[in-house]
Amino acid sequence: MIRWVAAGLVLATTQLPGLVLAQPITIEKATVPWSELERLFRREGRPVPEAPRGAAPTAWSMTAQVDGRIQEGRARLAIHLEISVLADRWVVAPLLPEHLAVSSAQVDVPKDRRGLLVRSVEGIAFAADGLGRYQLDLEVEGPLEVAGSSTRLAWFPPGLAGGKARIEVPGLERIAGRTGWSIERGPGGRTTALAALGASGLELLLPGAAERTEAGATLEELRALTVVSLGGAGVTRLTVRVLASEGELTLVLPQGARLWKAYVGGRALKASTVAQGTTVKVPVRGNAQVELAYTFDGQAMGIRGRFRVELPRLPVTVRDARWEVWLPAGLTYRETQAAMGPTACRNDWERTRTPLETQGACSGFSRAVLEPGRAYVEGHYEQPL
């Protein structure tokens, strides 16, 4: 079916009882099958227009600049996207598969438009509010896929029209995949894979590298509480259940954060012995409850602006994660985006070693399965007039 605008096309009508028509009816808009439209043109002795071919073009196109590094079976990528939306309506463009997690996102939208990252069981997509050019800067990480005896980094976003990729792979000797890669060798044995991107997306195969390196621990029941002050300073307390025989739980605090307290079970650990900068290595033996608390400094919150808080970067998937973020009262918050889904603040924390006083506006987030990476919450705030 098509919608046809017929200027002055006169269609025959059936005379209804009791209805007298002074002049024929002119139909200005009609939705009819193409075959019926052809028949009407032939009957009127008019040239038959050419039938439409194929499907309508996609509602968006994008270009991408991908920079990253692959090490120990994991990829960390910085992706700059320019998305041109060609339809004056909400458009949802799939971006990332479910096994890749976004640790940071910056979205620039045209004037009077909106753009949001949305999550589903299939992965992460970008929802854009109509015509214009949208720019996204994403920090992405996740495990490589196992493909036979190889490992693979694959990214096939619909509507990709062009771009470049530059990915550092230490010790790279061979490379494969549908993308046309070349290898650049730099000082100190540094090796980088380079490629131009197009409609076929990005695929990088590392032959003979099937073994994936992951931490041996299993993480469950992550509970995090963050309190942010109007001056931008804040504190986060995190507890997680570690199921492991013996080893270390290694995580990386947000940039500029400082470890304040650490506990394994009921035993206190000196922060100076387990933290080197933002990297924290907690020794565990058997199943244990790990509790960490760290402080951070952020930008002071004024009349209006953006806010962002992060959890530590975790090495493995976490089953059952919940996070409550308390922001200063007296401000309104909007366009909040997060690596987890929204949920109600429950304030039913189990007993912890680091009590925190909560006040202000609470936003709750949860996820049944939280991928490795750094969870975040960000959005806009403003002071009501």
> Which residue has 């975040």 as its token pair?
376
State the DSSP string of 91-109: EEEEEEETT-EEEEEEEE-
pLDDT computed for residue 234 by the predictor = 96
pLDDT computed for residue 7 by the predictor = 34
Q: Which helix (H) or strand (E) holds 41?
A: helix 34-43
C-alpha distances out from residue 242 to 50, 219, 246, 271, 349, Å = 67, 5, 10, 19, 18
Tell me the residue length of the chain.
385
- Write the pLDDT tens digit of every residue in 2-58: 333 333 333 333 344 444 444 554 444 444 555 665 676 677 776 665 554 433 447
CA neighbor of 248 nearest in space, from 216, 221, 272: 216
Residues 147 and 177 sit within 8 Å (Cβ to Cβ)? no
pLDDT computed for residue 208 by the predictor = 63
Pairing verdict, β 115-120 and 123-129 = antiparallel
pLDDT computed for residue 163 by the predictor = 95
pLDDT under 70: residue ranges of the chain: 1-38, 40-41, 46-57, 120-121, 147-149, 208-217, 244-246
pLDDT computed for residue 261 by the predictor = 96
pLDDT computed for residue 10 by the predictor = 35
CA neighbor of 322 nearest in space, from 363, 377, 366: 366
- Write the pLDDT tens digit of every residue in 42-98: 777 766 655 544 334 478 999 999 999 998 788 999 999 999 999 899 898 999 988
pLDDT computed for residue 310 by the predictor = 94
Cα–Cα distance for residue pair 84/135, rounded to 1 Å? 9
Cα–Cα distance for residue pair 335/343, rounded to 1 Å? 16
Domains and CATH numbers, the chain: 2-12+19-43 (no CATH), 60-206 (2.60.40.1730), 218-382 (2.60.40.1730)
Write out the two tokens for 352: 């912890």
